[in-house]
Amino acid sequence: MTQRIRKAVFPVAGLGTRFLPATKTVPKEMLPIIDKPLIQYAVDEAVEAGCDTLIFVTNRYKHAVADYFDKAYELEQKLERAGKLEQLELVRNVLPSHVRAVFVTQAEALGLGHAVLCAKPIIGNEPFAVLLPDDLIWNRGPGALSQMADAAEASGASQIAVQDVPREQTGSYGIVATEAFNGREGRISAIVEKPEPDVAPSNLAVVGRYILSPRIFDLLERTTPGAGGEIQLTDGIASLLADDPVHAYRFRGTRFDCGTHIGLIEATIRYALDHEKLSDAAQQLMQNALKELGVTELE
């Protein structure tokens, strides 16, 4: 796989029940960190890595994602007439002009592996990326996917983003066993979905960024339901290990699990503190809030 990736898959068909009632009408991928929805952060990361074809695997309730990436003629006209050019640029740049969006429906929620398989007709026979927008990765330098795309091009191996997690959390992740790392990459020898801590092969967890060989599709077609009764991407990757090199990649950056309340809060705080215009005010109000709570405790 010495080819540069051009296509990225975004599975966005989940129900987002953790964020009810907000997600009753707003898909969880549309929840914002400051002023951008989660999906936009993932899209920006894929475009930065060189992708020009973005495939959104949605369900029939997720019009909001398609609407968001559609051209907003009326809004653009209004902003133009009002001379709000900065905002106009923001709205237009949701998708740069050289990038196209393709929407594929996943009729039934059969699992992440099945969602990725739905993109097969559009990907064809080339390496591609998968990004899970819940996993937001903050980095001052190149984005995580860009780092991985470079590694995939150089090594010819599929790449799976990983990070260490506390042992008691292995049941929430795909967990890998690897050979010795060479720099940021280590060849994966085993991968298992959501093992209990006592049977987990390590505490090295899969984060939602993948660069995969198209051979995964044939394997996913033969993958039977696994953890949680779902067709797991992890199980497809486990079959791929026998045919192809698959590397775990320790990316540079901080990952926020925006599929949880605390992760979403943490990400908001981080982006606010790192924000050109909001940083000072955000720092001040956090200090004030802590002080006020401290005072309350003393009373």
- Residue 209 CB neighbours (<10 A): 30
Amino acid at residue number 163: Q
100's tokens = 């196209």
- Residue 165 CB neighbours (<10 A): 19
- Reading phi first (left if > 0) and then psi (alpha if -120 to 50, else beta), residue 97 is in alpha
207 lies in the site for ligand G1P, by CB under 6 A = yes
Interface with ligand G1P: number of residues (CB under 6 A): 14
Burial class (CB in 10 A: 0-12, 13-18, 19+), 212: buried
The single residue among 43, 46, 112, 152 that binds ligand G1P, judged by CB under 6 A, is 112
CB of 85 to ligand G1P, least distance (A): 38
CB of 159 to ligand G1P, least distance (A): 14
CB closer to ligand G1P, 185 vs 193: 193
47 lies in the site for ligand G1P, by CB under 6 A = no
CB closer to ligand G1P, 185 vs 257: 257
Nearest to 228 by CA among 117, 62, 112: 112
CB closer to ligand G1P, 37 vs 174: 174
The single residue among 13, 39, 131, 132 that binds ligand G1P, judged by CB under 6 A, is 132
Distance CA 35, CA 163 (A): 27
The single residue among 29, 45, 193, 235 that binds ligand G1P, judged by CB under 6 A, is 193
Q: Which residue is nearest to ligand G1P (CB)?
A: 174
Quick note: the x/- pattern for ligand G1P over 70-109, rule CB under 6 A, is ----------------------------------------
CA angle 98, 104, 106 (to 5 degrees): 155
236 lies in the site for ligand G1P, by CB under 6 A = no
What is the secondary structure of 174-233 as a DSSP string? Answer: EEEEES--BTTEEEEEEEEES--TTT-S-SEEEEEEEEE-TTHHHHHHTPPP-GGGS--H
26's tokens = 């707003």
CB of 245 to ligand G1P, least distance (A): 19
Quick note: the x/- pattern for ligand G1P over 245-274, rule CB under 6 A, is --------------x---------------
Query: Which stretch, 176-184, 201-209, 246-254, 264-272, contacts ligand G1P (CB under 6 A)?
Result: 201-209
CB of 164 to ligand G1P, least distance (A): 13
According to CB under 6 A, which residues from 214 to 233 bind ligand G1P?
A: 232-233
CB closer to ligand G1P, 127 vs 208: 208
The single residue among 27, 174, 186, 236 that binds ligand G1P, judged by CB under 6 A, is 174
Nearest to 195 by CA among 168, 159, 224, 157: 168
235 lies in the site for ligand G1P, by CB under 6 A = no
Distance CA 251, CA 148 (A): 8
Nearest to 130 by CA among 147, 142, 117, 139: 117
Using alpha carbons, list the distances in angstroms from residue 5 to 128, 138, 156, 181, 294: 5, 21, 11, 23, 51
234 lies in the site for ligand G1P, by CB under 6 A = yes
Q: Which residues bind ligand G1P (CB under 6 A)?
A: 112, 132, 135, 173-174, 193, 205-208, 232-234, 259
